[in-house]
Amino acid sequence: MIRFERNTELDIAMKNLIISMIDVNDYLTNILDYTERVLTPKMEKKLIEILKKYNVPHDGLKYDSKILIENQYYKDIKLDNVYYQSIRYEKATIKKRTLMNMNFHQSLGKYLFHYHPIGYFETDIDLPVLKEGSSKVWMSPAISEIESMRDGIEKGHGKCMTMGLGIGVLPYLWLLKDDVESVTIVEFNKDVIDLFEKYIRPQFKTDKKLKIIHGDAFDFYNEEFLNQFDYVYVDFWESTEDGLIFYTKLMEKKIDLPHIDYWIEDSMLYDLKYIVAPYLYTVYEGKSVMDFISSIDEDSKELAKKTNKYFKTRTDVIKTEDELLNIIHGKDVLRKILAQ
């Protein structure tokens, strides 16, 4: 079982970790009244005061609309041509000065405080949306998705592969790169493939090889298949909520290859960090781990059990704040916990 040396440095570090978790909840509560609302100058001033209080970046609330309207997918692919079964096109207008999430979680400081970058455009923006039924948004090139996959776009090279087709934003932006040779996609939903092949793929302004495999991502998540490619970007979940579940199942396969990245991985791992930190605090204080696990809500209890199983295998003694933070933020550690 992992152990700790009781000292002043770790006392302070443990306290700061817990405080950072409390601060995040307070911060989110304070900005709740502003998100997805049209900001008046008075509201913006109050919002900036909140951001300053928590040291959240606030100088860049005004976003340049070019990040969306000059995105090559947004410019080249016209979703208003889509007429597929129960899927219909709709033009959604983002009103100017509407505060929205521009990306997923970003860490702030060395403990556990994090935030979503937020901002607004100074002009109305028309966003193409595919809806299922009367109101459910099925797919759309949302700003937060484009921004959050930027790293995956930039790292794509040679033979690329992604799991999850969507409306083909990532594959298209990959294929436009000079250093990308081909793109392979694994997609489970045949309707998604059919819609893409009929309405979207013909609009691609590239002749590079694009192969779509109809199948389950978990069946193809093996070293033999993955090693055929120079870069792999896994993205078949909708958000952090369902993403952590699928991501955990992938980690349980215990595949560790350096050329694979996962969409919004850091954001998903924050949910695990919020189990790991209080777990280690429980161990540090010499309190009952079983009581801690019992106190966790049912949705997160399995993560707590995995955390306990992993740390029971460790025999090292943690003596410094750096050692503690390396555990909490170490992606290799977090992946091993999920792999239990």
- In the chain, where the domains are located: 3-7+267-338, 33-144, 150-262
What is the structure's pLDDT at 180? 98
Give the three-state DSSP class for 212. Answer: strand
Task: Retrieve residue 111's tokens.
Answer: 């403990």
Task: Retrieve residue 275's tokens.
Answer: 């189990």
What is the structure's pLDDT at 140? 80
Which pTM does this prediction carry? Answer: 0.93
What is the structure's pLDDT at 134? 66
Looking at domain 150-262, what is its CATH homologous superfamily?
Vaccinia Virus protein VP39 (3.40.50.150)
Range list of H helices, the chain: 8-31, 41-53, 66-69, 72-76, 143-148, 150-155, 169-175, 190-195, 217-220, 223-226, 240-251, 265-284, 289-295, 298-311, 321-329, 331-338
- C-alpha closest to that of 221 among 138, 163, 301: 163
pLDDT at residue 264 tops 90: yes
The mean pLDDT of the chain is 94
Backbone φ and ψ for 166, nearest 5 degrees, come out as 60, -135
pLDDT at residue 81 tops 80: no
* Residue whose structure tokens are 């700061």: 16
